[in-house]
Structure 1
């Protein structure tokens, strides 16, 4: 299926299913994806290997974000949220903590009503500097697509070593000050059945959610084109049943079908 990259450092605003009017910040290369995952459902398509990574400069991010925020405020349409997303994993940027500090300072000065959000696959939260930066933002939204390493390898295709158990332990270090985000999907990929919404998958995932105790859970399913074909949405009614089980743990859960 057709997928697309973000070709600007600052993009949007777009109407996010989960966050409202969102102004995007892309710290990753403009010509290719750069991520520690290569998810079969990623709207940016497959990663192109063998490229030398070129992160966007901290100074460019600060200047362009400031200009866009001033423009939107002057027009009477301030964003609800400034969202770090883009062409891959934002926390891989070597200046990520400093960029978060810049962004919070800009937000406070120009558009104090806006929240700051980071969409992350959680692969870098073992680094204390990344955790501290994420603790400063309003919404640090961290991915956990399965309780099983085998499913993560199939669905998220991590580069190098990845452990669900280690990721969960690092999530616990946030003391509940995080949002867990999970993509539920099914279908076929590489000759194998894909389905992280089976009773076995959901039961094990809920057990981990209960251990992490995030302040919120966001669950969703495919809404855009995916690089892998033969993937299917999970019906919204099924997502709502999963959400009911999350809320039975005393944790708010939003659904985007």
Structure 2
């Protein structure tokens, strides 16, 4: 079974194809996964591996580890483009997420004031006032929208909540407007005998309509880059991604293709 990637709370820095030199903060267990999605493409594996036994890092522990790492990096003369909340699951599930964001912004300002703070968020907890407030504070609120069609979203992202739906999601994303960066994973393939494909004209058209409603600062479109827990998925070519991007740009929305 494919398992979690990150075995520490603060990790890296690593080179991110979207974010440059990125120091990661993993607010999930270091030996298991906690997420409100169970995506077919998740590089951290399926939720069935369990949450492990380490538990979640505390706010104080996270701040101490982050400050120690930032001190070392500055002493060594390293550069840093971004501090990124990502890891083995959905960071906004952490009960102290908002406070940890506040601590991170203070530490960023102290040690690497030119770096940005980014959150990779699956958008499932945008009904939580403290989560929304924290996401509004960071430099890059990178919010997930893989399909604007319910059946496809449920097939690819596999939300753990039976009531989660794209109409609700798009309505919540509209609150962020140009504060949001929308991230969409394009893929195709097969899972459990069913065709998976969010690159069709119907899918792209629905996403274009959603992007136009949200009017984000930017859309990030990308495809598979690492091993996925669902084995029969295929990477979409850069040429195809660029063709989709051209349609988004024609609506006056900035696009980054990876």
Q: Structure 2-normalised TM-score?
A: 0.96
1:174 Cα deviation from its structure 2 partner: 1.3
Q: Deviations over 1:30-82 (max 9, x none)?
A: 11110000000000001137658822111111000011011111111131100
**DSSP-derived class of the 1:224 partner:** coil
Counterpart CA distance in 2 for 1:23 and 1:200 is 37
**Structure 2 match to 1:81:** 82
| Two-structure CA RMSD over aligned residues (Å) | 1.4
Counterpart CA distance in 1 for 2:35 and 2:147 is 19
Q: Deviations over 1:189-243 (max 9, x none)?
A: 0110000000110001100000000000000000000000110011110100111
Q: Deviations over 1:143-186 (max 9, x none)?
A: 00001111111101100121111011111111321100000000
Q: Within 5 A, what are the aligned runs for 1:203-214?
A: 203-214=205-216
1:166 is aligned to 2:168: yes
**DSSP-derived class of the 2:32 partner:** coil
**Structure 2 match to 1:28:** 28
**DSSP-derived class of the 1:24 partner:** strand
Counting matched residue pairs gives: 256
**Structure 2 match to 1:15:** 15
Counterpart CA distance in 1 for 2:171 and 2:89 is 23
1:250 is aligned to 2:252: yes
- Tell me if structure 2 keeps the 8 A contact 1:5–1:33: no
User: Unpaired segments of 5 or more residues in structure 1?
Assistant: none
- Tell me if structure 2 keeps the 8 A contact 1:69–1:78: no
**Structure 2 match to 1:219:** 221
Counterpart CA distance in 1 for 2:186 and 2:50 is 30
**DSSP-derived class of the 1:207 partner:** helix
Runs of 4+ in structure 1 displaced over 2 angstroms? 1-5, 48-54
